Amino acid sequence: MNQDLSIIPLLLNASWVVKAVVLILVGMSLASWTAIFSKLVRLRQVKSMNEEFNKAFWSDASLNDLYAAALRNAKSTGPMERIFASGMREFQKLKERRVTDVAALLDGARRAMRASYQRELDAVESNLPFLGTVGSVAPYIGLFGTVWGIMHAFTGLASLEQVTLATVAPGIAEALVATAIGLFAAIPAVIFYNRFAHDIDRVANRLETFIEEFSNILQRNLGAQSASGH
């Protein structure tokens, strides 16, 4: 008798444990692909908005004009612009309180930017741990389904007097499908996890560089104001 060893019939004839494992893996794969496409779009937006603001920052526009624009477009600004706005907000608050110590002004602005930087980084890193979890756990879930399927297949063969390859093949094949689907879910998750981790590191480094550059500009402006005051 010819056995149909295509995937769909094998899964339909599999034990309920293997079916449950396959459903879990399919759900994990769909969720990871959703997270992957969402992260691709988000990182592209972040890079574009950061580049746009960076060009404006190094143009002839004044810091007050840039700050006013950041407040007007608060809902559509990127991470770099929000960090800039946080630093400027704290800097101006301290000046309104008549804080004249240069170190205190710079420290306050830098701490505000660091807090904003951490919030932005947490937002950019969202869904990244999920991809890491899928990449590391999915193969083991598939392996569990395979082990269970093989055990179930050999248990069913115990009552047969004569066992041939034709009688063993369907049970082994349906069990191995779980491992294949586990790898199908895990491999893209691992690939894009590594890619996103690299891209996010580059974004983080760029934001940290901007914080230092902006702090230096504030320091030079305060030094120029102190010199003119004297």
pLDDT score of 1 more than 80: no
pLDDT confidence tier of residue 170, bands split at 50, 70 and 90: low
pLDDT score of 105 more than 70: yes
d(CA 178, CA 141): 8
Q: What is the mean pLDDT of the chain?
A: 86
Secondary structure (3-state) at 78: coil
What DSSP assignment string belongs to 146-210? HHHHHHHHHHHHTT-SS--HHHHHHHHHHHHHHHHHHHHHHHHHHHHHHHHHHHHHHHHHHHHHH
d(CA 21, CA 1): 29
The pTM of this model reads 0.81
